[in-house]
Amino acid sequence: MKKVTMYTDGGCSPNPGPGGYGIVITYGEHRREFSGGYRRTTNNRMELIAAIRGLQALKEPCHVTLFSDSQYVVNGISKGWAQRWKSRGWLLSDKRPAENIDLWEQLLALCKTHQVGFEWIRGHNGHAENESCDRLAGEASRRQELPIDAIYERDGSD
């Protein structure tokens, strides 16, 4: 199984608002950067979508170390939060409904395809790949005619 290192970041300004995500994938001497965005979404959705799009970009099952500055994403998988929410019918421990179920479902499925270790990295702390992801996400959020985050806009979440 190939060993891949992945850095992801996502954000919105304002939150909610136009959002973007950035991804840097390295494998040996190879490096790939890419990004995308949505016209109205949230920071947490962009952080999740960054991880999802990065894992979807892999052409075969891989051993992935995924670095994110989002504790929501890292803890959601590493501490088993998302799996517990799912086992309770997508309810949090206080019985409130979980958010971003559509994205957590996708991320959990991708974690079955790939062997993924999630690592938290402090954002805006001078780490080159994290800074690249942040730049890519910001640029993507400012693109003209961003696509619709259909689930977010349909649900009218804020």
Of the residues 20, 22, 36, 69, which is catalytic? 69
**Out of 37, 47, 76, 114, which one is annotated catalytic?**
47
Which residue among 19, 54, 114, 134 is the active-site one?
134
Q: Which residue among 9, 99, 129, 149 is the active-site one?
A: 9
Specify whether 47 is catalytic: yes
Does the annotation mark 149 as catalytic? no
* 124 tagged catalytic: yes
For residue 14, whether the previous peptide bond is cis, meaning omega lies within 30 degrees of 0, is yes
Give the whole-angstrom CA distance, residue 1 versus residue 14: 40
Q: What is each CA distance from 74 to 79, 122, 146, 150, in whole angstroms?
A: 8, 12, 27, 24
Nearest to 138 by CA among 26, 28, 48, 35: 35
CA 26 to chain centre: 17
User: How far apart are the C-alpha atoms of 96 and 104, rounded to whole Å?
Assistant: 16
Round to whole Å and give the CA distance between 29 and 96.
46
Q: Which one of the listed residues 10, 11, 36, 37 is annotated catalytic?
A: 10
**Identified catalytic residue from 80, 119, 124, 139:** 124
Annotated active-site residue 158? The verdict is: no
Query: Is 69 an annotated catalytic residue?
Result: yes
> What residues are labeled active site?
9-10, 47, 69, 124, 134
